[in-house]
Amino acid sequence: MQWFSFLMVLIPIIGANAKDLFSNNIASESSIGAIPLFIGFMAAFITGTLACKWMIKLVSKGNLIYFSIYCFVIGVLALIFAA
């Protein structure tokens, strides 16, 4: 069920980004070419998918102590970098 939610949101996100890219002509105004943008998109997609898979596996085990430690560390890092 988790994958359905993840996959369901991909189509609107991709569509909105494609609409912005083509309607505002961002690609021609940017100094970054289409290939680096595509590589960046694919890298973000793959790492995001792996991170979601890892988090779902971690949380579904019911061992939430590791998840709470993760949240604490990320929260502390966010506060440090926000200051």
Mean pLDDT of 3-12: 73
CA atoms within 13 A on the CB side of 5: 5
pLDDT of residue 24: 63
Sign for the CA dihedral angle at 59, 67, 6, 51 comes to negative
Q: d(Cα 2, Cα 5) in Å, to the nearest integer?
A: 5
Mean pLDDT of 31-46: 82
Tokens coding 25: 């002509």
Range(s) of the domain holding residue 75: 2-82
Identify the DSSP state of 63: -
- Note the pLDDT tens digit of each residue in 46-67: 998 898 888 788 778 777 888 7
Q: Is the pTM of this model over 0.75?
A: no
Q: Which residue has the higher pLDDT, 82 or 17?
A: 82
Number of independent structural domains in the chain: 1
Q: d(Cα 6, Cα 45) in Å, to the nearest integer?
A: 11
